[in-house]
């Protein structure tokens, strides 16, 4: 069995300077890229994501976890209005270059933030 030889906390790859990603897309075809997982052998990305809703109504966030097949790849989460960061992905592990994307029920109100624990196995 492999053992963990290193853990590095890094920003999600779709953000700029650690800032949140405003979700502008309203369909899976134009979904915003949140993170592209490592494709290095023996390395996995443990992804933690949070979402804030600045709008005046509850909105649905759609997380595409490596694809756009519903329900296989898409997680739907209702994000309450004007509430602090809501945990939407709690340490799911990805590798192989899997791309995590997001779109929303309405554009420009949801902001996704997060980090990755990049785990190297020996």
User: Tell me, what's the pLDDT at 57?
Assistant: 97
Low-confidence ranges of the chain (pLDDT < 70): 1
User: Tell me, what's the pLDDT at 21?
Assistant: 98
Residue 5 covered by a domain? no
Structure tokens at 79: 């994000």
Percent of the chain past pLDDT 70, that is, above it, reads 99
Structure tokens at 100: 């995590």
Residue 58 covered by a domain? yes
Provide the residue range defining the domain that includes 43. 11-121
Q: What CATH number should be reported for the domain holding residue 60? A: 2.60.120
How many structural domains does the chain have? 1
User: Tell me, what's the pLDDT at 17?
Assistant: 87
Residue 6 covered by a domain? no
User: Tell me, what's the pLDDT at 30?
Assistant: 95
């Amino acid at each position: 069995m492999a053992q963990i030889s290193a853990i590095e906390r890094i920003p999600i790859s779709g953000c700029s300077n650690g800032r949140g990603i405003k979700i502008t897309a309203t369909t899976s075809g134009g979904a915003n890229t949140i993170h592209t997982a490592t494709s290095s052998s023996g390395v996995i990305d443990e992804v933690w994501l949070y979402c804030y809703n600045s709008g005046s109504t509850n909105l649905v966030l759609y997380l595409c976890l490596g694809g756009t097949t519903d329900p296989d790849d898409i997680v739907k989460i209702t994000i309450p209005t004007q509430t602090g960061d809501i945990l939407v992905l709690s340490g799911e592990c990805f590798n192989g270059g899997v791309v995590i994307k997001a779109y929303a029920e309405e554009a420009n109100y949801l902001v996704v933030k997060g980090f990755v624990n990049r785990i190297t196995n020996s």
